[in-house]
Amino acid sequence: MRIKRKRTETIKTEETNRCRVCVWLLVLFLMCPTVSAVAQCEAKNNAFKSGEHVMYDLYFNWKFVWVKAGLASLTTNATTYHSKPAYRINLLAIGSSKADFFFKMRDTLTSIIGEKMEPLSFRKGAEEGKRYTVDDAHFSYRDGLCYVNQKRTYRDGEVVETMQSDSRCIYDMLSILAQARSYNPSDYVVGQRINFPMATGKEVEEQTLIYRGVKKITAENDTTYRCLVFSLVEDKKGKEKEVITFYITDDMNHLPVRLDLYLNFGSAKAFLKSVRGARHPLTSIIAK
């Protein structure tokens, strides 16, 4: 087994005299250094409850042909972490045997967050094409900073370990979703850009989310929803590339109804199939 370790990095937060709170895959807090990092991560859960279970149908696009590729599920359940109450969020995506001909995908993501929504632990096992990796991340809070210890294990046994810190809250893919679902987007303006730090398995990277407006979306269950639209973009050599477009219900649940993913081998879509255990009525439904 080969182990690589990288030095600890501290990422500085730019000074600002305003703090914006924003929704879906993001909650960015720019706060003064006297406020502890764990306080910056804490928020009130207004969107979900234990027992929520959401199912999606997955489709891949291969040379202008859309192929039903498999299923995905997003579940949230109460648990304990170090003897304290917490939530366990699981995202499972499994490609069908038919889709394996084009691109094999078996992804399992698990995030544990505290009752006040602070990230505690994250694990992602991903088999995507010929690539297989396991990412582990553990979060801690001290001296006004958020620390994340990350470890990525490759198929051949190579292990890369890193530790980074930030005066802001550092998120993983699921904890940012969980926390951001509770915030009110009524102050958004089309084109608004939101930045936040995210643990990616090896590094902590700055992510950008752009609010695109409101759109009607019909899901796989033949139900039409009023949705808020966001784009996650990354910067590649000075050029922005759209990675994912999110469509989430414009109600207190803020459930993902559709995801458009732009991948190296083509594109993929996830459509809402069913919802069980939602905390609030789905008032974003327009028609069935």
Query: Percentage of residues in the chain with pLDDT exceeding 70?
Result: 82
Pairing type for strands 193-199 and 256-263 reads unpaired
Summarised one tens digit per residue, pLDDT across range 79-98 is: 999 999 999 999 988 877 76
Percent of residues in the chain assigned helix, strand, coil, to nearest 5: 5, 55, 35
3 burial level (CB within 10 Å; 0-12, 13-18, 19+)? exposed
Of 8-22, 148-162, 178-192, least confident by mean pLDDT is 8-22
| Domains contained in the chain, number | 1
Question: Which residues make Cβ contacts (< 8 Å) with residue 132, sequence separation at least 6?
Answer: 126, 154, 155
Q: What per-residue confidence (pLDDT) applies to 206?
A: 87
- Split at pLDDT 50, 70, 90, the class of 265 is low
pTM above 0.85, yes or no: no
Checking if the pLDDT of 154 tops 80, the result is yes
Residue range(s) defining the domain that contains residue 89: 3-287
Q: Say if residues 195 and 206 touch (Cβ distance below 8 Å).
A: yes
Checking if the pLDDT of 19 tops 60, the result is no
Checking if the pLDDT of 239 tops 90, the result is no
Summarised one tens digit per residue, pLDDT across range 105-148 is: 678 999 999 999 999 999 999 887 777 899 999 999 998 899 99
Q: For residues 56 and 155, give the distance between their C-alpha atoms in angstroms, rounded to a whole number.
A: 28
* Helix H or strand E encompassing 242: strand 239-249
Query: Percentage of residues in the chain with pLDDT exceeding 90?
Result: 47
